[in-house]
Chains A and B, each alone.
Chain A
Amino acid sequence: MLEIQDLHVAVDGRPILKGLSLRVRPGEVHAVMGPNGSGKSTLAFVLAGREGYEVTAGSARFGDEDLLALEPEERARAGLFLAMQYPVEIPGVANMYFLRQSLNAVRKSRGLDEIPAAEFMRKVREQARLLGIGEELLKRDLNAGFSGGEKKRNEILQMAILEPRLAILDETDSGLDIDALKTVADGVNRLRAPDRAFLVITHYQRLLDYIVPDVVHVLADGRIQRTGGPELARELEERGYEAVLGGRLAA
Chain B
Amino acid sequence: MSVAANRRRVDPDPAFARAFEEAASRLPGARFPELATARERAIARFVELGIPTQRDEAWKFTPVARLVNRPHAVRPPSEPPLERVLPHLLGGPKARRLVFVNGVLQPQWSHVGGLPERASIESLARVLETRPTAVLEELAEPDQGRSFTALNAALTDCGAWIELSPGTELADPVQLLFLTVAGASAPMSHPRIVLRLGAGARLALIESHVGLEPGPALTNLVFGARLQEGATLAHDRLLFQAAEAAFVGRAEVHLGGASRYEQTTLALGGALLRSESEVSIEGGEVECRLCGLAVPREGEHVDTFVRVHHRAPASHSDQLFKSVVEERGHHAFAGKIFVHPGAQRTNAYQKNENLLLAEDGEVDVKPELEIYADDVKCSHGATCSELDPSALFYLRARGLDAATARGLLTWAFAAELLGRLADPSARAAARRALAARLPAGAPADEEAAA
Interface residues of A, Cβ cutoff 8 Å to B: 48-51, 71-73, 75-77, 82, 84, 87-88, 90-94, 96-98, 100-103, 105-106, 109, 117, 141, 158, 162
Which residues, 416 to 450 on B, are CB-close (under 8 Å) to A?
Answer: 416, 443-444, 446, 448-450
Chain A residue with the shortest CB-CB distance to B449? A97
Majority-rule SS of A interface residues: helix
Question: Which residues of chain B have C-beta atoms less than 8 A from A98's C-beta?
Answer: 395, 398, 408
Which residues, 379 to 420 on B, are CB-close (under 8 Å) to A?
Answer: 388-391, 393-402, 404-405, 408-409, 411-413, 415-416
Majority-rule SS of B interface residues: helix
Whether the Cβ atoms of B398 and A92 lie closer than 8 Å is no
Contact A71/B402 with A90-B391, A93-B412 known, Cβ cut-off 8 Å? yes
Contact A109/B399 with A88-B391, A92-B415, A93-B412 known, Cβ cut-off 8 Å? yes
Whether the Cβ atoms of A88 and B394 lie closer than 8 Å is yes
Whether the Cβ atoms of A90 and B412 lie closer than 8 Å is yes
Question: Which residues of chain A have C-beta atoms less than 8 A from B450's C-beta?
Answer: 94, 96-97
Question: Which residues of chain A have C-beta atoms less than 8 A from B409's C-beta?
Answer: 90, 93
- Bound together, the chains give a CA A93 to CA B443 distance in angstroms of 10
Question: Which residues of chain A have C-beta atoms less than 8 A from B405's C-beta?
Answer: 73
Chain B residue with the shortest CB-CB distance to A121? B449
Chain B residue with the shortest CB-CB distance to A78? B399
Count of B interface residues, CB-CB < 8 Å? 29
Checking A72, A87, A106, A117 against B396 with a beta-carbon cut-off of 8 angstroms, the contacting residue is A72
Question: Which residues of chain A have C-beta atoms less than 8 A from B449's C-beta?
Answer: 94, 96-97, 100-101, 117
- Bound together, the chains give a CA A27 to CA B32 distance in angstroms of 92
Question: Which residues of chain B have C-beta atoms less than 8 A from A91's C-beta?
Answer: 412, 416
Contact A93/B396 with A71-B402, A88-B390 known, Cβ cut-off 8 Å? no
9 smallest beta-carbon distances between A and B, as pairs: A92-B412, A105-B399, A97-B449, A76-B399, A72-B396, A102-B398, A88-B394, A73-B396, A106-B399
Contact A73/B400 with A88-B388, A93-B408, A93-B412 known, Cβ cut-off 8 Å? yes
Whether the Cβ atoms of B398 and A162 lie closer than 8 Å is yes
Whether the Cβ atoms of B399 and A102 lie closer than 8 Å is yes
- Bound together, the chains give a CA A155 to CA B113 distance in angstroms of 57
Question: Which residues of chain A have C-beta atoms less than 8 A from B397's C-beta?
Answer: 48-50, 72-73, 75-76, 82, 84
Question: Which residues of chain B have C-beta atoms less than 8 A from A90's C-beta?
Answer: 391, 394-395, 409, 412
Question: Which residues of chain B have C-beta atoms less than 8 A from A141's C-beta?
Answer: 412
Question: Which residues of chain B have C-beta atoms less than 8 A from A103's C-beta?
Answer: 399
In the complex, what's the smallest C-beta–C-beta distance from B45 to chain A, in angstroms?
46
Question: Which residues of chain A have C-beta atoms less than 8 A from B388's C-beta?
Answer: 88
